[in-house]
Chain A
Amino acid sequence: MQIIENTKVYDVIIVGSGAGGGMATKVLADAGLKVAVVEAGPFFDPADPTQQTQLKWPWESPRRGAPTVRPFGDFDAAYGGWEIEGEPYTHKDGTKFDWFRSHMLGGRTNHWGRISLRFGPLDFKHKDVDGYGENWPIGYEDVKPYYDKVDKLIGVFGTNERLPNDPDGFFLPPPKPRLHELFYIKGARKSNIPVYPSRMSMLTKRINNERGVCFYCGQCSRACQVYADFSAGTCLIFPAQKNGGQVDLFVNCVVREVTTDGEGRATGVSYINKEDRKEYKLKSRVVVLSASACSTARILLNSKSAQHPNGLGNNSDHVGKYLHDSTGGDRVGFIPDLMNRKVSYNEDGVGGMHVYSPWWGDNSKLDFPRGYHIEVWGGMGMPSYGFGFNVNEFNQFFGTKVGGYGDVLRSDVKKYYGALIGVSGRGESIALKENYCEIDPSTVDQWGIPVLRFHYKWSDMERNQAKHMQETFAEIIHNMGGTPLGTMPGKDEDYGLKAPGRIIHEVGTTRMGNDPRTSVTNKFQQLHDVDNVFVVDAGPFVSQADKNCTWTILALSWRASDYIVDQLKKQNL
Chain B
Amino acid sequence: MDRRKSIKSLVLGSVAGGLALHGCKPGDEGMDQMVQQAEVFYGRTPEEKELNAELREEQFFNVHEMATLAFLCDLILPASDQYRSATEAEVPNFIEFMAKDIPEMQVGLRGGLMWLDHQCNSRFGAEFISLEQERQHEVLDEIAYYDPKIPEEERPAAVNFFSLVRNLTLTGFYTSKLGIEELGYKGNMPNVWDGVPDEVLEQHGVAYEEEWLAKCIDQSKRNVIAEWDEDGNLIT
Query: CB-CB contacts of B214-226 with A at 8 A, as 1s and 0s?
Result: 0111100111111
Query: CB-CB contacts of B187-208 with A at 8 A, as 1s and 0s?
Result: 1111111111101110111111
Closest to A394 in B: B148
The A interface, classified by DSSP as helix, strand, loop or mixed, is: loop
Min CB–CB distance B145 → chain A (angstroms): 4
Query: CB-CB contacts of A264-291 with B at 8 A, as 1s and 0s?
Result: 0000000001111000000000000000
Q: Which of B133-166 contact A (CB under 8 A)?
A: 140, 144-149, 159, 162-163, 166
Please judge, given known A-B contacts A170-B232, A176-B194, A206-B226, whether A405 and B75 are in contact too, CB under 8 Å: yes
Residues of B within 8 A of A410 (CB): 77, 83, 182
Inter-subunit contact B20/A249 (CB<8 Å): yes
Give the complex CA separation of A97 and B161 in angstroms.
35
Query: CB-CB contacts of B59-88 with A at 8 A, as 1s and 0s?
Result: 000000000000000011110100100000
Please judge, given known A-B contacts A50-B41, A197-B216, whether A248 and B184 are in contact too, CB under 8 Å: no
Min CB–CB distance A27 → chain B (angstroms): 18
Inter-subunit contact A43/B188 (CB<8 Å): no
The stretch among A131-139, A209-217, A452-460, A544-552 that forms the contact with chain B is: A209-217
A363 on the B face (CB < 8 A) = no
- Which of B22, B98, B159, B167 makes the CB contact (< 8 A) with A388? B167
Please judge, given known A-B contacts A383-B183, A409-B77, whether A50 and B43 are in contact too, CB under 8 Å: yes
A399 on the B face (CB < 8 A) = no
A360 on the B face (CB < 8 A) = no
The stretch among A65-73, A300-308, A368-376 that forms the contact with chain B is: A65-73
Give the complex CA separation of A548 and B196 in angstroms.
29
Inter-subunit contact A413/B215 (CB<8 Å): no
Min CB–CB distance B116 → chain A (angstroms): 13
Inter-subunit contact B228/A170 (CB<8 Å): yes
A252 on the B face (CB < 8 A) = yes
Give the complex CA separation of A417 and B170 in angstroms.
13
Inter-subunit contact A380/B51 (CB<8 Å): no
Residues of A within 8 A of B24 (CB): 47
Inter-subunit contact B204/A69 (CB<8 Å): no
- Which of A58, A205, A386, A391 makes the CB contact (< 8 A) with B224? A205
Inter-subunit contact B17/A348 (CB<8 Å): no
Inter-subunit contact B26/A337 (CB<8 Å): no
Give the complex CA separation of A342 and B201 in angstroms.
10
The stretch among A177-185, A314-322, A516-524, A560-568 that forms the contact with chain B is: A177-185
Query: CB-CB contacts of B4-15 with A at 8 A, as 1s and 0s?
Result: 100100111101
- Which of B35, B48, B83 makes the CB contact (< 8 A) with A69? B48
A365 on the B face (CB < 8 A) = no
Inter-subunit contact B145/A172 (CB<8 Å): no
Inter-subunit contact A176/B98 (CB<8 Å): no
The stretch among B106-114, B120-128, B171-179 that forms the contact with chain A is: B171-179
Inter-subunit contact B188/A57 (CB<8 Å): yes
Give the complex CA separation of A155 and B234 in angstroms.
12
Residues of A within 8 A of B191 (CB): 215-217, 346, 348
Please judge, given known A-B contacts A204-B222, A390-B167, A409-B170, whether A42 and B102 are in contact too, CB under 8 Å: no
Please judge, given known A-B contacts A174-B216, A337-B204, A388-B174, whether A406 and B27 are in contact too, CB under 8 Å: no
Inter-subunit contact A62/B97 (CB<8 Å): yes
Min CB–CB distance A49 → chain B (angstroms): 4
Inter-subunit contact A343/B183 (CB<8 Å): yes
Residues of B within 8 A of A413 (CB): 170, 174, 183
- Which of B21, B42, B213 makes the CB contact (< 8 A) with A75? B42
- Which of B43, B173, B180 makes the CB contact (< 8 A) with A51? B43
Inter-subunit contact B189/A406 (CB<8 Å): no
Give the complex CA separation of A75 and B12 in angstroms.
25
Please judge, given known A-B contacts A204-B217, A409-B170, whether A63 and B11 are in contact too, CB under 8 Å: no
Residues of A within 8 A of B192 (CB): 215-216
Give the complex CA separation of A226 and B20 in angstroms.
17
Give the complex CA separation of A148 and B206 in angstroms.
36
Give the complex CA separation of A383 and B182 in angstroms.
12
Give the complex CA separation of A249 and B188 in angstroms.
33
Residues of A within 8 A of B203 (CB): 342
Residues of B within 8 A of A396 (CB): 148-149
Closest to A74 in B: B42
Give the complex CA separation of A426 and B197 in angstroms.
31
Give the complex CA separation of A480 and B55 in angstroms.
44
Closest to A209 in B: B225
Min CB–CB distance A7 → chain B (angstroms): 13
- Which of B3, B13, B187, B206 makes the CB contact (< 8 A) with A217? B187
Residues of A within 8 A of B226 (CB): 155, 172, 205-207
Closest to B149 in A: A396
Give the complex CA separation of A405 and B207 in angstroms.
38
- Which of B4, B83, B175, B180 makes the CB contact (< 8 A) with A65? B175
Please judge, given known A-B contacts A43-B20, A68-B102, whether A389 and B167 are in contact too, CB under 8 Å: yes
Min CB–CB distance A334 → chain B (angstroms): 12
Please judge, given known A-B contacts A43-B7, A383-B179, A409-B76, whether A172 and B171 are in contact too, CB under 8 Å: no
Closest to B184 in A: A343
- Which of B39, B146, B194, B195 makes the CB contact (< 8 A) with A402? B146
Give the complex CA separation of A111 and B40 in angstroms.
22
Give the complex CA separation of A64 and B206 in angstroms.
34
Inter-subunit contact A342/B221 (CB<8 Å): no
Closest to B216 in A: A176
A464 on the B face (CB < 8 A) = no
Inter-subunit contact B102/A212 (CB<8 Å): no
Sampled A-B contacts (9; CB under 8 Å) = A55-B189, A74-B42, A77-B43, A157-B217, A173-B217, A248-B16, A249-B17, A347-B193, A403-B145
Not counting A348-B191, A409-B76, a sample of 20 additional A-B residue pairs whose C-beta atoms are within 8 angstroms of each other reads A56-B42, A160-B233, A168-B232, A169-B232, A172-B217, A178-B196, A182-B207, A205-B224, A216-B190, A226-B26, A238-B19, A253-B13, A343-B184, A346-B193, A347-B186, A390-B167, A403-B163, A403-B166, A405-B76, A414-B184
The 7 A-B pairs with the shortest beta carbon distances in the complex, nearest first, are A388-B170, A49-B38, A343-B184, A215-B190, A58-B175, A176-B195, A173-B217
